[in-house]
Chain A
């Protein structure tokens, strides 16, 4: 009875429902993001970055790691749905329990395995568990308590849209960002994006870039088929080889730069004896991409003839390639 009175008093305070609604939005957002990221990590187990270095999985026997991660992800999605669509106390208490246990587990993880990340957002949370991760779990547990005491749902989120709610949401989000080690990690990943030579680029995208080029259109009539006989990738270039209709053994080689929306395309017609009869580049004349596009092509030409260490004006992506290409012959 006393509890009910407390709840009524709490809900009657003017700002509290707005805080609770903002807390609900944040909890749902983080649960969904965490669940999706964990699911993605569990799905890509076979690839680099094994589960051994992530979160509570490190404390479990190996064969249970993946099922545990999937269970966590599924649980988070169910809790998020429960918070959003119902006012039932079960998902609310479940969320309180989830984040309270998470706080304890992170504390324990920090003590027992100081080298592993929390795994809260799957592979993105590879930074060893620190006070910030633990603080975030505590803050989320606090928000879950608020949402339990003031049982708001997704309907309130739409109904109570106001400046007050936006401010409360912003403040909560700022707090979580400050407590998230993943943010600095993400910024570092964006800032130090892998150079073109190390990025996986789908072949289909390069084929469409090639077919949009003027070089392709000008050589298309002489090709035996529009399917290449060979294709391969070297550094930031992908090569396509096509047979020529009229001359037996002669081939056209297209080289497509893998970076940029309108990349430079270079082409050479190579006879059966290996002699090159024509070679050239079609810039992407008259387009905004021209200045960028000519850089690597120029650099490649310089690499082949003068041995300059860096093509002047070539974009950052091209520099590694040119310098490697050139210095290989010294």
Chain B
């Protein structure tokens, strides 16, 4: 039985309403995330094929910027690049393009060398498997300064590009936690006081299907989610399930959305970092969004996080 019926069944049992309308964001124009592969691109127009195989044409705004391992002009993205686009005007005007962007979050298993480049084998959780990552010599300084414990057992989180099956990281996504992945600090003692929203940092992950909207949440019951590493978090998060609807709000942009929990955020739960997008967020990564949802909530993929607030949707 699919988990997508869970929300409806739970609502029926508890007499809740099942409507899940996104939070109002007054004065904010809606953002649309569009994923696809570039067929053709010029300084003013991009034509791409979306995950359903349909062709989409978007006007590139004059102020638009792009990223392809480094900041670049949109027209310099080569045809065939997988892009994530932040668009306005009902998804017709592209203003930010990220080419071949990927994010690798996991536990370092092994390290090696390939010429001047470093190679890292990461365990990205039970359902995401093992990934091999190349840290190019040119990016190694930036990565190492934010990942001082470059040895097996420690966490790794970086953003880069994935082309021809090779992942090359370019930017650190966060400062590496000082503890080992198996030694996540316990959450602070819980108080009985009512807490309507839980604040922390929301990251993104590319463990979702192309163009999928959803969120990975760390505090799931292991038996229900078939994820042996779930249920670990350094923030006092309540238990939810795959299929639950989670409200995620971007504090920096005053945007919010109700998204389904579609994956187990076992890696997110191990990071006790803060996001400093707008002020300093409380400690702890409370959710991992799909790139599409992250972009639609106003997040910048290369920054890696935004200050978030979550609650049950």
Q: Would B186 and A49 count as touching, CB distance under 8 A?
A: yes
Q: Which A28-70 residues have C-beta < 8 A from chain B? A: 45-53
21 interchain pairs, CB-CB under 8 A: A53-B183, A189-B189, A193-B192, A198-B187, A200-B231, A232-B224, A232-B242, A232-B243, A234-B239, A234-B240, A235-B238, A266-B15, A268-B9, A268-B13, A279-B13, A301-B14, A304-B15, A320-B194, A320-B196, A324-B196, A329-B313
Chain B's closest residue to A51 (CB) is: B183
Task: Chain A residues near B183: list those with CB within 8 A.
Answer: 48-53
A266 touching B312 in the complex, CB below 8 Å, given contacts A193-B190, A198-B239, A319-B194 = no
Nearest first, the 5 closest Cβ-Cβ pairs linking A and B are A50-B183, A197-B238, A232-B241, A255-B13, A304-B16
CB distance from B197 to the nearest CB of A (A): 7
Task: Chain A residues near B179: list those with CB within 8 A.
Answer: 50, 52
Render A225-254 as a binary contact track against B, CB cut-off 8 A, 1 for contact: 000011111110101010000000001011
Q: Would B185 and A304 count as touching, CB distance under 8 A?
A: no
Residue B236 interfacial (CB < 8 Å):
yes
CB within 8 Å of B: which residues of A?
45-53, 188-189, 192-195, 197-198, 200, 203, 229-235, 237, 239, 241, 251, 253-255, 266-268, 270, 274, 276, 279, 300-301, 303-305, 309-310, 316, 319-321, 323-325, 327-330
CB-based A-B contact count at 8 angstroms? 160
Render B2-23 as a binary contact track against A, CB cut-off 8 A, 1 for contact: 0100101111111111011101
- In this complex, the interface size class of chain B, counting residues with CB under 8 Å from chain A, is 35 or more
Chain B's closest residue to A196 (CB) is: B238
CB distance from A148 to the nearest CB of B (A): 39
Residue B136 interfacial (CB < 8 Å):
no
A48 touching B234 in the complex, CB below 8 Å, given contacts A233-B224, A327-B197 = yes
Residue B31 interfacial (CB < 8 Å):
no
Task: Chain A residues near B312: list those with CB within 8 A.
Answer: 234-235, 321, 324-325, 328
Residue B223 interfacial (CB < 8 Å):
yes
Residue B184 interfacial (CB < 8 Å):
yes
Residue B111 interfacial (CB < 8 Å):
no
Kindly state the separation between the CA atoms of A188 and B186 in the bound complex, as whole angstroms.
15
Residue B253 interfacial (CB < 8 Å):
no
Contacting residue for A327 out of B21, B182, B196, CB 8 A: B196
Task: Chain A residues near B237: list those with CB within 8 A.
Answer: 198
Task: Chain B residues near A193: list those with CB within 8 A.
Answer: 190, 192
Task: Chain B residues near A319: list those with CB within 8 A.
Answer: 194
Contacting residue for B185 out of A45, A48, A203, CB 8 A: A48
Chain B's closest residue to A297 (CB) is: B14
Known interface pairs A48-B185, A268-B13; 8 further A-B residue pairs with C-beta atoms within 8 A, sorted by A's residue number: A193-B192, A231-B224, A233-B241, A270-B9, A301-B15, A305-B17, A316-B192, A329-B313
Kindly state the separation between the CA atoms of A52 and B14 in the bound complex, as whole angstroms.
44
Kindly state the separation between the CA atoms of A304 and B12 in the bound complex, as whole angstroms.
10
Kindly state the separation between the CA atoms of A46 and B313 in the bound complex, as whole angstroms.
32
Residue B282 interfacial (CB < 8 Å):
no
Chain A's closest residue to B24 (CB) is: A330
